[in-house]
Structure 1
Amino acid sequence: MGEAYKKSYNVRYSYTDNSKVFSNKEGISKEIYDQQIGDVENLEICYNRTFPTLSYLKGKNLALRRNKLGMVVSSIFMALFILIDVFADKEKWANRYEKVFGIQK
């Protein structure tokens, strides 16, 4: 854990909306931190007025990589389900479920 831990940072930030304080953190690698943040102490925070817990650091897109990974994983599962739907013997499984649940035609 020591070597991987040294290569990542947590960027913590907080903001106030209607006298309520909200805080968030973004986990990023050291390389991205050096490229995107560097020595900047004050960053502009954008948040949703309707849902103030949804926020991000303007112009930094730190969570973008995490979202891309989620889209890739979701696409793999979607492709798997489509392949099962296309190539599965649906009539065989329908008959099997009819027998198990006692469904009459």
Structure 2
Amino acid sequence: MTDQWIDVCAVDDIDDEDVIRFDHGQHTYAVYRSADSEFFATAGLCTHESIHLADGLVMEHVIECPKHNGRFDYRSGKALGAPVCVNLKTYEVRVEAGRVLLAITV
């Protein structure tokens, strides 16, 4: 298996401390921009009830699910307490020429 880099969006398409949804194939991802303009990516659905995390609230390095307020550290995918107990899968992200790229395994 190898990583394939997929173009997600322009750097400026994501505000600081925000998240966007990115769909590719049959998968949904959440792509985050931290307050210090670092980019991160996780699986796009909450591990509790498969709700889109891009509809949630970003606070510092935490994404809060909009349905039951489950919280994850989007840098590591770590579940931070009930009702979520399963970590999110994380993905490598890089920026090239003003574009945000996501690594997916193919």
Q: If each structure's strand is expressed as a fraction of its own residues, which one has the higher value?
A: 2
Q: If each structure's helix is expressed as a fraction of its own residues, which one has the higher value?
A: 1
| Same-fold status (TM-score > 0.5) | no
TM (norm. structure 1) is 0.30
TM (norm. structure 2) is 0.30
Larger relative contact order, structure 1 or 2 (CA cutoff 8 Å, min sep 6): 2
